[in-house]
Structures are given as structure tokens and as C-alpha cells.
Chain A
Amino acid sequence: MTQRNRAELEREVAELLIEKLNITHITAEEVDIEFPLFSKENAMELDSIDGIEIVVALQLSYGIRINDEIPKQEILYSVKTIVDFLIKENATEKLV
């Protein structure tokens, strides 16, 4: 995957999070892709309930399964780690 495509995918994932979690106070462009998603300082202010929404949204949108082989906490660490996982799973095309 080229650098540009990766950047597009990162943007797409950030947009997916903003949309599915109904976040209105920041935009996808403002999401720091390397910043820990569930950190207290993250502007998205996510919690455990959002965690399951992200998992289900990723599974449905990219046709992947997030199971025990790579811990969920590791995949959802940041937008960057989500994108790393999608690339590893060869699931870079959004299905829905």
C-alpha cells in the first residue's frame, strides 16, 4: 500500500469513528492518528461502550473479525494501529 493510500485509509477510519460514535465536537481532520484512542486526554472522549461500537463498526465495514489472536486493546490503541490491522488482514476496501 502506498503512503498516499495509507493516509486515505487513516482518514476513512477516522471518519468512520466520528460518524458511528456521533462525535460532533471535532472533525476527522482533527483526529490525531497516533494518539491513544482511550486516553483521558484524547479529544474524542471515548469509553468502553464506544469500544464495542468501534469493533462492530470495523467488523461490518471491512469484513474482518477482531478476536483473541491480536488483543482488541492492541488493535484499538489508535487510528494508526487500526489501520495497521486492516492492512495486515488485507481488508483495506470498505464494504458498506
Chain B
Amino acid sequence: MWLGLRLIFYMDYLPEWIRVHNNVHFINIVSKEGDNYIVSDSYHPRISSISSDLLVKARWAGGYMAPRGYMYYPASVTLDPDLKKPIINGIRKACRNMLSLPVPFIGVKGIYRFASKINSWPQKTRDIEHLSHEIMKINVLLEDQGTGGAGFRFMYATFLKQAAEIMNNPTLNEMSERIMNIGDDWRNISYFAAKIGKTRDLGPDKIKELSELIRKQGDAEKIFFKDLKKFIHKNYTLRLIFNTNIYNYYDAKKSC
């Protein structure tokens, strides 16, 4: 059995510092043993188990974006899918999400906004303890939870590497290496935030330095996704307009 469920707080196999009330986490149910479900969770390195009581609580948890008992499972699986079209569509969508969504807190705009907002945190927090917790939370959200940090850049780099092979296009390999380097820089930011938060070294110069590091990441991601968008547009979208069988066209051109 394979199911996707949305929950987090009740996952008692996770360390306490990960277990927050947040209705945006998915796990896979692998099987059932007695009254326990065997689960595979991306936050946990091993297959774990959870009691059916806790699972019921998690599935029917309240709050914002409450899961309302939803479960997801594949209705059918195509054994040999043609991945080329979904790859191009997926890259195009990622570029749009990162560059063009008209929402100030998503994508590159969100990175710039975050970089700017951090500067005002010292004025808004209760005391140094509160500020240090907020700063260390950047590390938790970049490294362990959320989609903003190194881990998701590395995942995207792996996707581009596999895409390069499927599309038979080495440029995607170069793109993979570039986003991998951007991931390294996010990890350095995460480390910097963890370090200044833990040592309570939170003077205005350090906060400004952190803000500047994040702003530079915004610049790097903007350039990267613009280049990726340009690459896809030039190599696939234009051909889609002038030649409906673009993949064969591209493969034929590569083999010449």
C-alpha cells in the first residue's frame, strides 16, 4: 500500500524539535503491522512506525490548511512514461514560480523581501533570546524543513542531471552544477545563521551581513532561473511553435 498523508506534529518517531503544528507535511504509508502503520517519512532516515490512534489524530488535526482526513494514492501507474514533455513543462513552471509570480513572498522576490525584513528583526524582537531563536529558525527552515534551502537546490540539481540524460542535452548538466553551487551557498548561510544565533553574536553588523548574504543569493537565483528559462525557450519552446515533433528534431540535431 502507498498513501500520502498530510501532517507532522503527531509523528512521535521524529525528534521533538522537528514536531511542530504544521499541516504541510506528507508521509508514505508502506504497510501495517498489528495496530501500527509502517511509514516512510522524508524527515526521518529510517522506516518507522506510528500507532493508528496517532495517525487518526494527525489526519483530522485542525488549524490552517487542516488535512481533513485526505489521503492520496496512485490510481494507476504508467510503466514506461515519456518524460520529455513533463520535464520541459516542469522546468518552465519552476522558472515562472521563481521569477514571475505576482506575489511578493514567493521565489526571488520572496528572497529579496526576506533579506530586507531581517534588518528590522532586532527592533521587533522582545530580547536577545527571542532574536537568537528566530535567527536559528532560519537554519531549521533552510536545512530541515521548508523549501528554501540547500536541500531543495540539491534535489533540483539531481533532477536537472537526470533531465540532461533523458533529454540528451549536456547544457542541463551545467545547469545542474550551477544550482548545486547555489545550494552550497544556502548551506553557508544556514551555518552562519546557526552560528550567530547559537553564540548570541547578534549585533547590527552580523544581522546586516546575514541580510546581505541572503540578498546575494537572490541575485544568484535570479540569474540562474533567467538563464534556465532562456535555455528552455530557445531550445524547446520556439521549436514547439515551428515544429510539433521537437524531441525527434532535437535528438536528430544532436546526433548529427
Contacts and interface: CB of A to CB of B under 8 A. Distances in A.
Interface string B172-216: 000000001001100110110011011000000000000000000
Contacts of A63: none
**SS of B interface (majority):** helix
Given A48-B18, A51-B143, A53-B191, A73 B44 contact: yes
Contacts, number: 61
Interface residues of B, number: 31
Contacts of A65: 180, 184
Given A52-B194, A65-B184, A77 B143 contact: no
A57 to B, nearest CB: 10
Interface of B: 15-18, 42-46, 136, 139-140, 143-144, 150-151, 154-155, 157-158, 180, 183-184, 187-188, 190-191, 194-195, 197-198
Given A49-B194, A56-B187, A68-B157, 20 more contacts: A38-B15, A47-B15, A48-B17, A48-B18, A48-B139, A48-B140, A49-B140, A49-B198, A51-B144, A52-B139, A52-B187, A53-B191, A53-B194, A56-B188, A67-B158, A68-B151, A68-B154, A71-B45, A73-B44, A77-B46
